[in-house]
Structure 1
Amino acid sequence: MAETPKVYNQEINLDNLDLERSYTLEEFEYINSRLKNYTLEINGHPVNLFELDKNGKLVLMPQTPCCREQVVAEIAAQLRNWNVQTQQGGGVTTSQGGFNFVIDYQSVIRAPDVAFIPQNMVLQLTDEQAWTFQGAPFTPIFLVEVADIGEDTDNSKFKEADKRFKEELIIQSTVVQLGWLIDPQHKRIYIYRRDRKCSNPRWGDISGENGLPGFMLDMSLIDRIIDPPPPALASQEARQINCPDCNNTFNSKHEFIKHYEKIH
C-alpha cells in the first residue's frame, strides 16, 4: 500500500488520488516527487507526472512511447549543445521540467517537452523559483511539444495541441517568443510565434530565429530515429573528424563535441 501522508491536513493516497479536488502547490510538488519512483495507472495508462491547471486540478501526463521520447531527447541534446558551444549560459529542460505559467490570473504548472530559458533569466531566479514552485511565476522563452497530431488540422488531436499553444503557452502573461509543435510520425511541423499566425513549413531543419541565435535543429538526426539506417550503412558513413583548432582527430561526432566543449 502506498504511503498516505497528510499535507496541510488533507490525506494524499497515491493509490486513490482524487482528481476532482483542488491541490495546493505544495501538494502538487509532493505528488510529482513521489511519482519519480512510483507509477500510477489511470484509465489503463501509466502516469509518472502531472501538470496543474488554473483551478488546482491535477492534469495527468501519460508516459511517452519510446521513439517519441527519443525525438524529445534529440531535440534537447541539440539545444544543449548549442547552449554550451555558443556560451549562452541558459537553461534547457525536458518534460520533467515544469514552469509556473499564469492563465486568467491563476497559477498553472505546465511541462513542455523541451524548453529554454536565457542566461539573464537564470541569473535572476530566486532559490524558490529555481528549486520549487513557490516563487514568482516565470516561463521559458522557447518551448517544444512533440506529439501525434495527425496529418491535417481538422482532427481533434491537432486542435487540442493548437489550443494549448494559443491559449496557455504563448499568451500575454508569458514570455514565450517561439514554440514548435512537431509530429515525427507524420512528419509535420507547426511554428508558433508571438502575435503571428501559426506556420506549417515543410519537414526539414528549423531555425531558432532571433530568440536562439545560430541554433538550427538538424532534422536528419531525427529522421534517423524515425527510420533507422541499416547497420552496414551506418558504419559506412562513419568517418574521422578533424578538430579545426588543433591536430586531434575523432571517430565520432560525440567524441569531437565532447573534446571541443571541454578544450576550446
Structure 2
Amino acid sequence: MSQVLNIPSMDTMNDDEFFAFCEANRRNGMHFERDKYGRIIFMSPTGSIRGSRDLDIAIEIGYWAKQNKMGIAFGPATGFTLPDKSIKSPDVAWIRRERWEQIPSALRKKFAPICPDFVVEVISESDTWSEHVDKMKEWIVNGCQLGWLIDPNEKTYMIFSPQNTNPEKQPFGVISGGEVLEGLEIDLTTVFEDID
C-alpha cells in the first residue's frame, strides 16, 4: 500500500532534486513516486510472493519485447515523468522504440519524460482496487494506450484503454496485447500459479 509523505520541503523538490532523492534512498530499498500535485508517495517494499509474481509477468513481457524488437520493456521501479508532471513507476512498462529514441539520452538516465504505451499494475494484498483503478485511469489520461490491472488474489484482471476507462473485471485466462502489443498473449493462470 502506498503512503503520502506530508513533508513540506519535499513537496518543493524540482525534477533533478527528486531524482537525486530517489537515487540516494534506493540503496536503502526505498521507492517513491510523485503525484501531479508534487506530493511524494512512499511505496512500501513488496512481499516475497508478490515480488516473484511481478517478476514472472515482467519476464513474459520482456521476452516478447526482445523477440519482436518493436519497443523497449521496463521492469518494476522504473520511473517516468508524465505530462501531468507526476512521476510514476508501473510494475511493467513498454514503449514503442521510435518514441523512446526521441528522448535525449541524458533524460533517459533519469525519469524519462514520456508516458509508456503499455503498463501493468499488479495488486498486492495490502492494496485496494479503487486506488489502482484510479492510477490506471491516470496512466490513460497521460497517454498510455493499454493497461492491465491484475489481481492475483482474486484471479481477475481489467484491461484499460483510451476507449475503455471503466472495464469489467475478467477471470484469469489468456490476456492479449491487442493492437498495441501485437502477438503478445499471456496465460495469467500459468504466470500467477500459486507459490504460497
Q: Same fold (TM over 0.5)?
A: yes
Contact preservation (8 Å) 2:74, 2:94: yes
Q: 1:91 aligns with which of 72, 87, 91?
A: 72
- The normalised TM-score by structure 1 is 0.66
1:30-49 to 2 correspondences below 5 Å: 30-39=20-29, 48-49=30-31
Cα 1:138/1:223, change in 2 over 3 Å: closer
1:198 and 2:163 correspond? no
The letter of the residue matching 1:93 is: F
| 2:122 aligned partner, one-letter code | V
Query: What's the Cα RMSD here?
Result: 2.1
| Identical counterparts, % of pairs | 28
| Equivalent of residue 139 in structure 2, options 169, 179, 188 | 169
- Tell me the TM-score normalised to structure 2 length: 0.87
* Unmatched 5+ stretches in structure 2: none
Give how far 1:149 is off.
Answer: 6.6
Larger radius of gyration: 1
Check if 1:144 corresponds to 2:112. Answer: no
8 Å contact from structure 2 (residues 77, 89) kept in 1: yes
Q: 2:183 & 2:54 partners in 1: Cα distance?
A: 20
CA contact (8 A) 1:192 1:199 kept: no
Alpha-carbon distance between aligned partners in 2 of 1:194 and 1:149, rounded to the nearest angstrom: 27
The answer to whether the 8 Å contact 1:93/1:116 transfers is yes
- Per-residue deviation at 1:119? 1.1
Other-structure match for 2:83: 102
Does the CA contact (< 8 Å) of 2:157 and 2:172 recur in 1?
A: yes
Stretches (4+) displaced over 4 A: none
In the alignment, structure 1 residue 66 sits paired with structure 2 residue 44: no
Q: Deviations for 1:154-187, whole angstroms, at most 9, x for unmatched residues? A: xx92111111112x2111xx22111011111221
Instruction: Flag structure 1 segments of 5+ consecutive residues without an equivalent.
Output: 1-16, 40-47, 151-155, 229-264
